[in-house]
Amino acid sequence: MRKQVIFSGLILAFSCAPKPSNEENTLAQITDPEVMKYAVSGKILYENYCGNCHQPDGKGLGKLIPPLRDSDYFKESVHRTVWIIRHGQVGEITVNGEKYNQEMPANPNLKPLDISQITTYLYNIWDLKEGVITASEVEDYLKTRPENY
C-alpha cells in the first residue's frame, strides 16, 4: 500500500511538472548579456505591438497574417523589418511560398530604441543569432527605404 502511494505521488509530481515548449518566444536561448538587455524589453514591446496579429509564437494568423518565425521574408533583411515596423506594409508579399495581402499598420510612435529592442528580440530567438541591433543601426535603416521593400 505504501509503495502504491509513493508511486502515485511520483506520477502526479511528474505529470504536473512544466513541460518544455519550443512554441514559446523564449529568452532562455539567449546567452549574451548585452543581447539579453535589449531582448527583455523587446519581448514586452513585441507582445504589446506585434503579438496580437503575428501571435505570441510568431506563427501569424493562418492565411491572413504572415508568420515571422521560420519566415524566409523575415530572415532575409533586418533593414526591411525595421522599415516595416516603422512605416507599415501595404500590398501583396510572399512568405514561405504563400501570398499575403493584409495591410500592416505603421508604428510611427515607436522610437528607434523601441524598434531596436523588438528586432534584437526577434532576431535572437527561434535559433537566430543576429546579436544586438542598436538604435543607431535602426536610425540608419530608417534613412533609406530598403530595395526589397
pLDDT in tens, 88-109: 999 999 999 999 999 999 999 9
Burial of 46 (0-12, 13-18, 19+ CB in 10 A): buried
Average pLDDT (70-93) is 97
Domain assignment present for residue 16? The answer is no
Indicate the range of 24-38, 62-76, 107-121 predicted with least confidence.
24-38
Say how far apart CA 47 and CA 78 lie, in whole Å: 19
> Which pLDDT value is given to residue 67?
98
Domain annotation covers residue 1: no
29 lies in some domain: yes
Is the pTM here over 0.85, yes or no?
no
- Give the count of domains, the chain: 1
Task: Name the residue among 145, 135, 139 with its Cα closest to residue 83.
Answer: 145
For residue 114, the model assigns a pLDDT of 99
With CA atoms as reference, report the closest residue to 118 among 100, 102, 141.
141
How high does pLDDT run on average in the chain?
88
Residue 72 sits in a domain of what CATH number?
Answer: 1.10.760.10
The Cα–Cα gap between 60 and 104 comes to: 12
Range of the domain at 84: 25-141
- Which residues are bridge partners to 94 per DSSP? 99
pLDDT tens column, 18-60: 434 444 557 988 999 999 999 999 999 999 999 999 999 999 9
Say if CB 24 and CB 57 are below 8 A apart.
Answer: yes
Name the pLDDT band for 7 (thresholds 50, 70, 90). very low
Evaluate whether residue 38 is within a structural domain. yes
Tell me what pLDDT residue 149 has.
Answer: 86
Residue 60 falls inside a structural domain: yes
